[in-house]
Chain A
Amino acid sequence: MNTRFAVERSTHASKVFAASIAIVVAALIAMPWWGDPGTMHLVAEMAYFLALAQLWNLLAGYAGLVSVGQQAFVGLGGYTLFAITDWYGVHPLAAIVVAGLVAGLISIPVAFTVFRLRGAYFAVGTWVVAEIFQLFIAQVPRLGGGSGYSLTPAIVQSISMDREIRDVIVYWLALLLVVAVIGAIYMLLRSRYGLALTAIRDSELASGSLGVDTYRTKLLVYMITALCTGAIGAFIFLQKLRISPEAGFSINDWTVVVIFMVVIGGIGTLEGPIIGMFVYFILRELLADYGSWYLIVLGVVAVLVMLKAREGLWGLIARRFNVQLFPVRRHLVRKDAP
């Protein structure tokens, strides 16, 4: 009797999931032909929130960098897009890429400063940095100062003269961004950096002693996250057509709800943020008539999840049914030789 083992990553569930995701994405791409503009707008919003949630999850859930200052990069991305399209006539779609690169570049000196703080102090430190960017940009008259800045019609029309076609392009862009971000994170987690990150998530001390360069890995993740967050910020404000320091650097819009999504869905998994995103949008639509109560309810749910089910809703599901939709973990399969 000859027993052999093989290391596999994909599971039956993950194959079914990949197929159904392909069908859903195809249906969403085709939405301009079957959906109405209102639904498209909502799906675009869900898409960029999901992308932000996945990025924060990568940062906090895997690299252990609990930042509450990611709004810094959303705002910087947005402002970069407005500045370079207005001042230098860069095409708005190219400007999204440039905005991401600018945010990534700025994240380097930021990282060297905030990485001096650990744990919860790191969290508040990133917040201070975001405040500094907000106050600083409000001082620049060429960026509209404290009152804000609008995209000129000429810039908007450079995407397309036809408003309907423009809306469709922006919608597809949202889908492209979220698929690209999740794809990039998925590839990263399957690479050797992913192995290092998962090790850091489980125990920073142990992974360091086994030869993982934790500082460099964290720095890399911080920069990648800032770059992607900046690009998404640029997209968000291209869609909104107007930016102000309060809107661009809003901790509530770009960090608080994103953290709640990840925590409720399940931190440290790729599936969690997707579930959390749906929970957020469902609660928001249900409580739409009750002012800020949806934030209170979200806060209570997040606190309860942290106390009672630390792995979030996805953690409960995964444990109950032993499923994994994104095959990032390796497992041993027994293969008996004939």
Chain B
Amino acid sequence: MTTRILTVSTLKMFVRNKQSLFFTLFMPFIFIGIFGLIGFDKPQVIDVGVVAQAPSAMTQTFIDALGKISVFKIHRGTAATEKAALQKGDRDAVFILPNDLMPNPTTTSAPVTQTVTVLQNIARAQQAQTAITILNQLLDKTTLQAAQAPTLFNVDIQSVNAKSVKYIDFLVPGIVAMSVMQMAVFSVAFVFTDYKEKGILKRLLATPMKPQQFVAAQVMTRLLVAIVQTFILLLFGMLIFHTHVYGSWLLIFLLVLLGALMFLGLGFTISGIAKTVDAVPAIANIVVFPMMFLSGIFFPTSSMPAWLQKIVTYLPLQPFATALRNVVANGDGFMAIRTNLLWMTGWAIVLITLAVFTFRFEEKRV
């Protein structure tokens, strides 16, 4: 009964504490919102300048066809203005078209070879090359049509319903893992150091309660919060950003419980080390910040230098975030994430052991 009532009271205190709510829900909401709106995976736009002083009707049709290509953003202008824009870096390529680029189908005169001049932006060679390839394709197609050659090849494009893994799908599970870490580390480190500093732990020791009952209530509260937090954040992603949960919810919650346990160990260790509440953010941030930015929460670790990737793989947040992402966004099962689970279990054992040695409920027995 004692532990149950304590858990209920602890839960009330947790929910009423604005600071812990900030770390638990508000901050991840902001992260998902900001990074979700930036949308790193929107298709790139290629800025193309098109110069044609007085295009014939057929040439104009060709220019319109260019404009329909979704990756192109067409800018019209004179050769001089477009070149200047390219030099400024505002164009990836500039096409200079002769006015009568396209032959008039009503005239039967023999076709004349026309020249299209392309200015390419060397600094954006990739985009310029894409633009040139598309231009060539379009011109070839026109040539073939003009020659009335038979179509030898036909590309049949069929749409298959695939899992759409967009940046936001990558992001949300990472943010969930990160916020479970923040919640577990900060709420425990702050609250227990505060209790210690204010003499509340000592007051509790004056009752017949066993210290482990109190710690159990605190841990159970955090585990419950982690589950609710995960559910709310995933739901938020699904409703606002149309993310998907492909894996099993049960596996997700088990993962989150293991992750929370691991970081609760870290939280208790920190409050064991910190003498005052003021020292908590300093110590906690030294540990938490590098993990936050290097564990592939906001961007894949594959974009980091190899040596850094190696180090980061062994930090506790990385296997947690990766496993959670694989289950949520790829629908991986237990066997697929077992290496990550093993790492997490290892970290949980290490951090909880560390907590047992550093965290003292009672004053040192001299």
Same assembly: no
B residues near A (Cβ < 8 Å) are none
A residues near B (Cβ < 8 Å) are none
